[in-house]
Amino acid sequence: MKNSIKYALIALALLVGGAIFYNKVYIPKSTYAKVTPVRGDMQLQTFGIGNVGAKEIYNITALTASKIKALHTDEGEWVKKGQLLVEMDAVDLPELVKEAKISVQKAQMEVTASRKDLDALYAQRDLALVTYERYKKLKIQSFASQSEYDKAKADLDAIKAQIAATKAHINSAMQEVKRAQTSVKALEVKLSRYDIYAPVDGYVIAKEAEVAQSVLPTQSIFKIVNPQDVWIRTYIDERISGDIKVGQKAAITLRSHADKKFAGIVKRIVAQSDAVTQEREVDVAFEKLPIPFYINEQAEVLIATQTLKDIVKIPTEVIVHKDGKSGVWIVENEKAHFQKVKVLGISDKTAAVKNLAANVIILVPATNKKPLSEGSRVH
């Protein structure tokens, strides 16, 4: 009797344990989340990661070696084309320009004075000519001596010589004016190199020198970008870049605005791929540039490459690979069946597929569930 009760209790315990295992372990392990396909249009997108960059970054450098006298902008500020950015210390060059201008004025005054002297000499020549002609006639008529005639002629010749000398002096003075003016222009050009102006309307992304710092012509002081040139320099695997074309729409996500998408457009596809990474550079510009922006900030880009019309769409998480084939696990008579599918394209977490009915029930594989196999019972 005692043994019968003992075996009955053991059997009851096994029955209860089996029921608990069936309900708490077997059933949950073989119960899968299920989804059904959706039919509709889907836009295929190509994903890429890159950084904020620009088509042109203007490196503002000194035109001559000198010390920085003043900076008129700073990093993070907007500047206008032609705006004074930097004043360099020209040392004594401004004084040299003043001296050269004084030399020009002096030479011009010399020309003016010589011309007035020339006018006076012309008047003296006219008078001497009249005197000479009178003495010439008087000599012929024997009313004037030879010495008087010779003196009148000598006076006329002397004045003519003075006129010639004055003309030569004027020409020399005019050459001096030209030389001094050329010197002034050369010094002004040299002096202008000590003032540095903005080449474009733009945004200062970097300040790389300070006031009183000595810089060389190749040393950067500011870096400026034109906002119209800002884009995302993104790198995309060659295997998925074939459908990308200039002009395609894109969505840009900046790391500093992870919850926001900015509209973009493909502006350039670089003709040469990277031989090491086997990636192609694709430059995507903002349709409306976010302000402020930060060069080299990481960004993600989704480029809309194609729109598939009236196709079957399923979550990418349900796609599995078996024996080198892509497919999904579907329910047939409460059992798992592997259905091969052809993936037409993937966009974000959705895949467009072929060879799959729109009314099937798809099982969602999970690592905490029993591995699916052909014909296995599912709940």
- For the chain, domains (ranges, CATH) are 47-55+226-307 (2.40.30.170), 60-89+194-224 (2.40.50.100), 93-192 (1.10.287.620)
Cα(72)–Cα(88) distance, rounded to whole angstroms?
A: 11
* pLDDT value for 28: 46
C-alpha span between 255 and 252 (Å, rounded): 10
Instruction: Determine the pLDDT at residue 3.
Output: 61
- pLDDT reported for residue 26: 43
Say what the pLDDT of residue 78 is.
93
| Tokens matching residue 345 | 């394209």
> Residues 345, 47: contact at Cβ < 8 Å?
no
pTM for the model: 0.60
According to the model, what pLDDT value does residue 21 have?
44
Which amino acid is it at 142? S
Residues of the chain with pLDDT under 70: 1-30
